[in-house]
Amino acid sequence: MDEQLQRLAVLVPSPVASSKKGGIAFSFAEQSSHQAIVLRLARTLSGLRAARVLLDQGYCQEQAAICRMVNEFQDDVTFLALASMEEIAPPILTRYLEGFFAPESSADQYRVGDRIKGRPMVSRKDILNYIARQSMSEVDQFGHSNAGLAISFAFSGYVHGAAGHTMEMFDPGLDMFSSKLDKGHPLRRAHEDDIWNYYFRGILAFGYAALAMRDVAAQRDYQEFRGVFEAESGDRAPV
């Protein structure tokens, strides 16, 4: 996936440098859907690596929170790929890109006393509904969109520290909470199996990106790598 990221990144105009508060910041001048895909792929890779480091150290709550982010990155890449291949850019793509590339302004708003406004982001529900409409039959659209929301909401408990999710840290044998799960803990095994799903989602993201950016070699590599991964993962990841 590292190689794929670099291969796809050279297909879009490079970031440009500009001065920012005494330093230098980089940004994409064009703010295209393909550039957004590259940025999402970069975070997918860093997210997968971070999740693996956390899992190896037994910090399964934090690993699951990162995996939820990877889940959304993959949804976004799928959405961007499908929307960018439409003959006429759909309004939802324009709204997404405007929010995604919007400069961070909360500090400036606070400094002048304005009410703080968040980024004008497209909702997760709208993104999943769009994907379902584009890639599923009318009968399957609700089930596909609903399944995506189920994953997002279920794992949001790890992000926000919901009581039920945090209770996984309780060790009844020691009658105390443990910040990490040692090897051999049954819940750790579940998280070790689950991370394969997110590697799979990362692979899917690169597949959609290669398709949208019309890189035939990248599409071929994706198919080969996906086949190897499916053979290695067994029943630990969907196929």
Query: Which phi and psi (to 5°) does residue 85 adopt?
Result: -90, -5
Residues of the chain with pLDDT > 70: what percent?
92
CB 42 within 8 A of CB 136: no
What would the pLDDT profile of 179-197 be if each residue is shown by its tens digit?
A: 888 887 888 888 999 999 9
Nearest CA to 8 among 44, 28, 37, 30?
Answer: 37
How far lies 8's CA from each of 2, 30, 72, 227, 238, in Å? 10, 16, 20, 21, 25
Cβ within 8 Å of residue 90, ≥6 positions away: 83, 130
Q: Residue 209, class by beta-carbon neighbours within 10 Å (0-12 exposed, 13-18 middle, 19+ buried)? A: buried
Average pLDDT, the chain: 89
What would the pLDDT profile of 196-206 be if each residue is shown by its tens digit?
A: 999 999 999 99
Q: What confidence score (pLDDT) does residue 68 get?
A: 94
* Three-state DSSP state, 18: strand
Cβ within 8 Å of residue 117, ≥6 positions away: 105, 106, 109
- pLDDT class of 37 with cuts at 50, 70, 90: very high
Nearest CA to 208 among 91, 72, 84?
Answer: 84
Greater model confidence, 73 or 144: 73
Q: What confidence score (pLDDT) does residue 26 get?
A: 92
Average pLDDT over residues 119-130: 91
Residues of the chain with pLDDT > 90: what percent?
65
pLDDT of residue 81 exceeding 90? yes
Q: What confidence score (pLDDT) does residue 213 get?
A: 97
The C-alpha torsion from 152 through 154 and 157 to 159, rounded to 10°, is -30
Q: What confidence score (pLDDT) does residue 142 get?
A: 66
Q: What confidence score (pLDDT) does residue 92 get?
A: 98
End-to-end distance of the chain based on CA atoms, in angstroms? Answer: 18
pLDDT of residue 58 exceeding 80? yes
pLDDT of residue 215 exceeding 90? yes
How open is the CA angle 99-52-66, to the nearest 5 degrees? 30
For residue 206, which amino acid is it? F
Q: Report the distance separating Cα 102 and Cα 118, nearest Å.
A: 10
